[in-house]
A and B are shown apart, each in its own frame.
Chain A
């Protein structure tokens, strides 16, 4: 079974561990998902499993997607996501929370909250200009953005990727190696330690952690 699911962020709470410590946790609700496509090296160029979750009304979906989900024996689904690598499953299989029972750490992928158009200080942690010493109405400005001839030595434009003010947030964020605190199969809930990107009710993709640092790998091995 692919160790991945599509869920929704329910909210945060407090969790008391057996040794009495309390940890901040995020609750993710993940009703059973469907394997909507199994990609193979021969046919698609790479191995992957696509799962879909969150049943919607047909009018919320499109005809191509309705057909795609129908092939897996499911109604239209809102969200689809891929897990790279081979997995022991077939088209139409259902995946539920119990796949995470032996998993110590998961990656959670979500879309962060949109912050709108933000200045350099909030968006890139610029220092801004000084509060006094003759600075006039430029206290939060980014300062110089260098000359207009820097990318190739000569040129009429500013260097590409120059950090400036602009739209912040509402981007895909992966929160890596979050400890799984608890699994509730009856209510389809995953409880992970820490914060998850996005608003409450936001869609998140949960998969078993792709890579772990040395300390966490040791913890995962110990169980």
Chain B
């Protein structure tokens, strides 16, 4: 067994598979578990998925939203137990893998077109 497979087998138990299919450009609702003392509550973070990185347990997603006219980007480890759920709110049309150009966009041009291409392949 090669070294990469050893790590994959070891971390396989930590992977979650209950995500909907999403791709870069989609608007997501990320339900985060927030622990305050011994209480736990869920906070929803909504934003546009502008990039994905990593494989397996290392996979992270970058979600960008605008809060009080200020851009905020959060990077979530996808398989973290602190992420309760992910929902797709809107499917956006993205032609590239990383949407870093959205950082320079202001106003209406910040929005992405709704996805039309290849919709029937996505569940």
Contact = CB atoms under 8 A, between A and B. Distances in A.
B7 A13 contact: yes
A189 B6 contact: yes
Contact of A11 (B4, B33, B35, B81): B4
A22 B7 contact: no
For chain A, the bracket of interface size reads 10 to 19
Interface stretch (B8-16, B44-52, B63-71, B112-120): B8-16
Given A15-B14, A22-B77, A10 B82 contact: no
Interface string A4-22: 0000001101111011101
Interface string A177-217: 00000001001010100000000110000000000000000
Main secondary structure of the interface of A (DSSP, over half): strand
Considering the complex of A and B, which 9 residue pairs feature the smallest CB-CB distances, nearest first?
A: A20-B82, A20-B81, A10-B3, A13-B7, A10-B6, A14-B58, A14-B57, A16-B14, A11-B3
A77 interface: no
For chain B, the bracket of interface size reads 10 to 19
A14 B57 CA distance: 7
20 contacts: A10-B3, A10-B6, A10-B7, A11-B3, A11-B4, A11-B6, A13-B10, A13-B11, A13-B56, A13-B57, A14-B11, A14-B58, A14-B77, A15-B11, A15-B57, A16-B81, A18-B81, A20-B35, A22-B77, A201-B3
A29 interface: yes
Contacts of B14: 15-16
Given A16-B79, A22-B77, A187 B33 contact: no
A191 B79 contact: no
Interface in B1-29: 3-4, 6-7, 9-11, 14
A187 B77 CA distance: 26
A184 B56 CA distance: 19
A27 interface: yes
Given A20-B81, A22-B80, A200-B3, 19 more contacts: A10-B7, A11-B4, A11-B6, A13-B10, A13-B11, A13-B57, A13-B58, A14-B58, A14-B77, A16-B14, A16-B80, A18-B81, A22-B77, A27-B6, A27-B7, A184-B10, A187-B6, A189-B10, A201-B3
Contacts of A184: 10
B67 to A, nearest CB: 23
Most buried by B among A13, A18, A19: A13
Nearest to B6: A10
A10 B57 CA distance: 16
Contacts of B11: 13-15
A200 B10 CA distance: 17
Interface in B92-109: none
B80 A27 contact: no
